[in-house]
Structure 1
């Protein structure tokens, strides 16, 4: 990766000398934030104290609804209208932020506090090029004499190189829709880095990124902290990432900070049971009971999914691009096959072709032995009764205007199945299958937690009696505790209903836990496939080895291995130890 730095002006924050990590920068004292709806006040942040030093990386972790994002938004002054600070102070250096006017906060944002938001799709302007959006930062926060267009362009190119975006010259003229999710997230990180702020708030910045890109981005965070004294508040639900890269971990639960300690101390002796649960669920280890490793008897029949020589070409202004190149694999009924790889590897394109949402350029797709490659519109409609998709983000997949009962029952209505009473009974059965209480049937998606929304999405996918589910990054937006609950649900449904899963993911920890077999994709090619334990334990491809090496959780893995060794040693009989000592 090109490590050239964007050019800095003499009075730019980027030229400040690094500070000692011990020197405090951010002080939050007694902060309380409430959300008010229909006259009811609900505390989201409750009497929180937090300090972040210059050059320090602090991970703010907790499950969905713990208050971590509300705390981060309070610091930068971007709380939604329903949120109100009712107590406490926030000080950055010698500047009081809680009493600052909006005009003053606008000058602070970007220059002294940078923000990397979670959702690049909602944060980038769809009608402006990437180059113009990056250049705008230097125009809005100009210091010193007016700069030439060429000078700003040089800075923009260096920023793109800094965050690992390839073909930087070409990217300047592209629009957000022409970039993958990972590339769009890196553009947001480049924007946040552009003025070298004193404090960088990263709100789940790597949740949508594959492990190799994730590692590169986190290395940039570390470099900023080390070389420029940038303080980084890293908001994440991924403890594997947090423990690898942060100096301290701050654990939030129900709006309160319950632990604030160095990473080594948290790993060795978590003081709270909640923290121990977070660490346990984040620890990288295979759990055969949850991984669908016992195919049902029907697995001897025709594969649930079989693709032969699948190829997809896209034509664009710059010519033809082959996104998927001669991919072949099969998935036995009642098992889970995971496709993994970096952004742009072709895994989601492959899934869309299997679902017949995208026509292949060549090759064949067989579902339960039937060739559906050239399926007509009516044949696709019939296919979708047995083959369904569970989307990545339940927030955008569920209609916010409809109650849960209508969302789950919508496929039944569309296919004109059953009477109103029969549909109502079926919806109740589906909610019970995904462990949702009947009382939620009348609620709308915004009234549910992230895990509950994903359960609703799964129930809807099963409404027509689907035998095979395609789960495209279906757990990436969930915290580790919620992920564990959904993994258990998927395992139970697979066991009870004989379901087959095609699981698309960049999260190798989740893949290792859920999969029977794994396929690794790179640049449109399937470079390796096989049983999960074999691929993860003894990868045949150099690329797979590199992918696994980038997998976060090194400190958690080392801790887990040392504990396993200690347990094995404790179980070894003394007579065996004596025999070993004499050899």
Structure 2
């Protein structure tokens, strides 16, 4: 690294115009440098300004926002003083971007290779044949399978982890000096996340490229960043080397972020009296899949022979990587995806496979809360209307009685009553998920199926949701079935854990003893794949031949 920074940001100020026409400053006086070959992490909770700052390095702001002051320099370029056409020439060549959602970055109707090499055509960087050769080299460096032919596929024909690495290849094809990674592993399960992080780190080191890594996950940042900038409300709270921030933080907010990374372990609300007690939920020999049924079985069999019991007032975690069948299990229990074999029993009573065949009372007693509140909440309806709908359906409440109960339910999930007049688009991610919970609680259920409900939330907000779940359980006597790929989340909420792999339960054990007592090779792999707040953790993982063999075998 040289003494001259590649990136220099001074007194950066970015403003936005609210819906009411009021001007607000969302980024206030931000200063930092990035040396050539250095990776800088921008961390903070939702709304801290980290993505806004990262996008500004390309001279880009979201609609309604504008750079109002300060300077951004990348090499010899004054980004803030450029025209829009000059900035367009910079993007993809000097600075490039890897988005959080790789799926949104690809056109589903075009082959992958055509999209990866598009930058070279737009900027006339090299002939098509050379661009494709360069792309295949990047596919190899990013440890993608079948690097010589994967470019001929369409985006839907590769996995989420592969697509995320392909989006990195798209960003790297123009040999940029600076690469911006915008939470690129947030939506990935732990084992896939490790593969992607290893690939990113290797390629960046080999190319001596500088990087900006946007994240709310300190453990991920610890594996890839040289320095960290901690942000809150558009201002820098603290910055320093990764080691210093993780091991000797100075600012109270940094300490809060570190504390949120390690949730308080779950303490069982009640013990099981298995001899005399009927489980609130029992699953017997359950099979589920997708597609048309032929000879009694679906075209795609996803889940087979699942058995478990969940007792009243206790919580069951179901963990596994993407495609393991855990969300299929939640949908089969809820009746959204009817099981084609086996039984689901609620409080000892066998439920019909399809929710269309279940009584209103059966539907009321078992509610599901989905992963993405954005798609689960009707964008055209107010929060009050959304929460009131189950009150009408299950309780027949309308008018003032319904409005009063909506206010009570919002208070139950720690949201102010005035929020009932807003649309979902006007809420933060954490607020949307609380509305999701309030809607489920409106039915007065006994069992809530939580399908990855904290995976899209930042660490601080996710920790607050987990605390809320514990609080509601204590007040209302609820039982939770918690689907997750995050082991720390499961340990914070659950009494017992099922580990799923390729549609089957491979291990069942108490959550508190999961790390010590797991014996199945896949369970051990999952546990070993959870990033630690240790800058040497990923490098140590790469020195473990047994673990690397497990990755390649799965």
Q: TM-score, normalised by structure 2?
A: 0.88
Q: Which residue of structure 2 aligns with residue 343 of structure 1?
A: 322
Q: Residues 517 and 31 of structure 1: is their aligned pair in 2 closer, same or farther, counting only changes over 3 Å?
A: same
Q: CA deviation at 1:431?
A: 0.9
1:310 paired to 2:286: yes
Residues 79-90 of structure 1 mapped to structure 2, 5 A cutoff: 79-90=61-72
Give distance in 2, aligned partners of 1:161 and 1:147.
Answer: 19
> In the alignment, which of 124, 128, 131 is matched to residue 147 of structure 1?
128
1:41 paired to 2:23: yes
Residues 439-478 of structure 1 mapped to structure 2, 5 A cutoff: 439-478=418-457
Give per-residue Cα distances to partners, 1:471-490, cap 9 Å, x unaligned. 12211222222112111100
Q: Which residue of structure 2 aligns with residue 25 of structure 1?
A: 6
1:222 paired to 2:201: yes
1:296–1:498 contact (8 Å) kept in structure 2? no
Residues 87-126 of structure 1 mapped to structure 2, 5 A cutoff: 87-126=69-108
Q: Which residue of structure 1 aligns with residue 552 of structure 2?
A: none
Q: CA deviation at 1:458?
A: 0.5
Q: Residues 385 and 315 of structure 1: is their aligned pair in 2 closer, same or farther, counting only changes over 3 Å?
A: closer
Structure 2 residues not aligned, in runs of 5+:
293-297, 538-554
1:287 paired to 2:265: yes
Q: Which deviates further from its counterpart, 238-247 or 273-282?
A: 238-247
Give per-residue Cα distances to partners, 1:56-93, cap 9 Å, x unaligned. 12111111111111111111233122001110111111
Q: Give the secondary structure class of the aligned counterpart of 1:288.
A: coil
Q: Which residue of structure 1 aligns with residue 544 of structure 2?
A: none
Q: Residues 22 and 415 of structure 1: is their aligned pair in 2 closer, same or farther, counting only changes over 3 Å?
A: farther
Structure 1 residues not aligned, in runs of 5+:
1-19, 559-583
Q: Which residue of structure 2 aligns with residue 273 of structure 1?
A: 252
Give per-residue Cα distances to partners, 1:80-128, cap 9 Å, x unaligned. 2200111011111111111222222222222222212123343332333
Q: Which residue of structure 1 aligns with residue 548 of structure 2?
A: none
Q: Residues 339 and 175 of structure 1: is their aligned pair in 2 closer, same or farther, counting only changes over 3 Å?
A: farther
Q: Which deviates further from its counterpart, 297-306 or 501-510?
A: 297-306
Residues 104-253 of structure 1 mapped to structure 2, 5 A cutoff: 104-144=86-126, 146-148=127-129, 156=135, 158-166=137-145, 172=151, 175-177=154-156, 181-253=160-232
Q: Which residue of structure 2 aligns with residue 370 of structure 1?
A: 349
Give distance in 1, aligned partners of 2:140 and 2:254.
Answer: 37
Q: Give the secondary structure class of the aligned counterpart of 1:98.
A: helix
Q: Residues 117 and 483 of structure 1: is their aligned pair in 2 closer, same or farther, counting only changes over 3 Å?
A: same
Q: CA deviation at 1:202?
A: 1.0
1:128–1:175 contact (8 Å) kept in structure 2? yes
Give distance in 2, aligned partners of 1:59 and 1:299.
Answer: 53
Q: Residues 379 and 86 of structure 1: is their aligned pair in 2 closer, same or farther, counting only changes over 3 Å?
A: same
Q: Give the secondary structure class of the aligned counterpart of 1:385.
A: helix
Give distance in 1, aligned partners of 2:275 and 2:417.
Answer: 34
Q: Which deviates further from its counterpart, 464-473 or 378-387?
A: 378-387
Q: How many aligned positions are there? A: 531
1:510 paired to 2:479: no
Q: CA deviation at 1:413?
A: 3.4
Q: Give the secondary structure class of the aligned counterpart of 2:499.
A: strand
1:520–1:544 contact (8 Å) kept in structure 2? yes
Give distance in 2, aligned partners of 1:371 and 1:21.
Answer: 69
Give distance in 2, aligned partners of 1:175 and 1:304.
Answer: 44
1:59–1:242 contact (8 Å) kept in structure 2? yes
Q: CA deviation at 1:225?
A: 3.0
1:298–1:334 contact (8 Å) kept in structure 2? no
1:301 paired to 2:277: yes
Q: TM-score, normalised by structure 1?
A: 0.84
> In the alignment, which of 502, 513, 533 is matched to residue 512 of structure 2?
533
Give distance in 1, aligned partners of 2:36 and 2:397.
Answer: 63
Q: Residues 337 and 81 of structure 1: is their aligned pair in 2 closer, same or farther, counting only changes over 3 Å?
A: same
Give distance in 2, aligned partners of 1:427 and 1:556.
Answer: 46
Q: Give the secondary structure class of the aligned counterpart of 1:446.
A: helix
Give distance in 1, aligned partners of 2:303 and 2:10.
Answer: 53
Q: Residues 225 and 154 of structure 1: is their aligned pair in 2 closer, same or farther, counting only changes over 3 Å?
A: closer
1:488 paired to 2:467: yes
2:164–2:196 contact (8 Å) kept in structure 1? no
